[in-house]
Amino acid sequence: MTHFKLFTPILMLAINSCSFYYKTSDIQNKLNASNENVRTNVDKLTQQINTYQSEYKSLQCNLQKEEFKEAARLFSEVNTSLNELSGYKKKVSDAYNDFVIYTKGKDKIQSGTPEWKKFKVTKKQFKTDLKSIESIGKTTVSKAENLNKHVTENVVPKIQKCVVAEYSKSFKTAVDILNAFQKKLPSQIKSYSNQVAGITKMFLATQPDKCKELTDEMAKLNDVSKELLLINKKVQSLQDEFNKSTKGVEFIYSCSSNWDVVINAESNLKLEQQHLNELNVKIQQIQGQMQNVINSLKQ
């Protein structure tokens, strides 16, 4: 925070009239410099803290946990100081504007005039307000540093981040795998169906039990194809639901209530992936059993 220094006006002595005066332009320039210094520094500090606060609020952290409650409390303290600082900034600006008004058209401020008395009040107010701004500015910076320390050490390490666009890709990957599986399975089923039809025709009269076993396994394989279709529809439904819930959202953080969307999507997608793995094992078992029966018939 830049130190705010009160101007040192140049006091002039009018010898002929034995009165003192200040050149209005000199005083106005110095008052304006102080006013602009206050405005620039307070606005800069306010912008920095508001940006930080905006970034934190984008996390949408709820207040259920103590570390987030503490962050909210510290933000409140910083905002209180900022509001106080802004109040003094306005007082300095108003005092400067008042000076411009009561010295309008006057090239000097001479002792014994109404403007002289008003300027003494303005000078005192500037001195007091600049001192207050200096003190509150340091306090605000200190509070902001405490806030940043708390968020860095106690909040950030506990927050997970979901990049919605990246997470959506996991659904696309799952759908692509299912589509590839679905595309491959019919040809496998057709191959086994042709084999079963031919072998059943050859051995039905002599090995009816084994032929029935083949037919039953073939029926199981056809049922697997239906199960696979249901899994595919479920995953696509999960994808649509996730995209709808996160429309226009770039990130979701674990401290927000929206994190349930990520948790549910992840849980349900893993469940369907598990079903797919189990289905794949089931297909291999059916195919293995069918191949064993076929081999025994050919012996």
67 neighbors 147 (Cβ within 8 angstroms): no
pLDDT tens digits, 101-119? 999 999 999 998 999 999 9
pLDDT at 2 over 70: no
Q: What pLDDT score does 13 carry?
A: 42
Element (H, E) at 101: helix 66-102
Q: Confidence class of residue 9 from pLDDT cuts 50, 70 and 90?
A: very low
Name the pLDDT band for 18 (thresholds 50, 70, 90): low
Of all residues in the chain, what percent carry a pLDDT higher than 90?
A: 59
Task: List the alpha helices (DSSP H) in 111-163.
Answer: 114-150
Nearest CA among 155, 225, 157 for reference residue 189: 225
- Give the DSSP letter string of 23-91: EHHHHHHHHHHHHHHHHHHHHHHHHHHHHHHHHHHTT-B-SSSHHHHHHHHHHHHHHHHHHHHHHHHHH
10 pLDDT more than 90: no
Q: What was the pLDDT predicted at 179?
A: 85
Residue-level pLDDT at 4: 45
Distance CA 47, CA 3 (A): 18
The pTM of the full predicted model, rounded to 2 decimals, is 0.68
Predicted pLDDT at 152: 92
Quote the DSSP letter at residue 112: T
State pLDDT tens for residues 56-75: 988 888 878 899 999 999 99
Q: Which of 29-43, 183-197, 270-284 is the least confident region? A: 183-197
What value does the mean pLDDT of the chain take?
A: 88
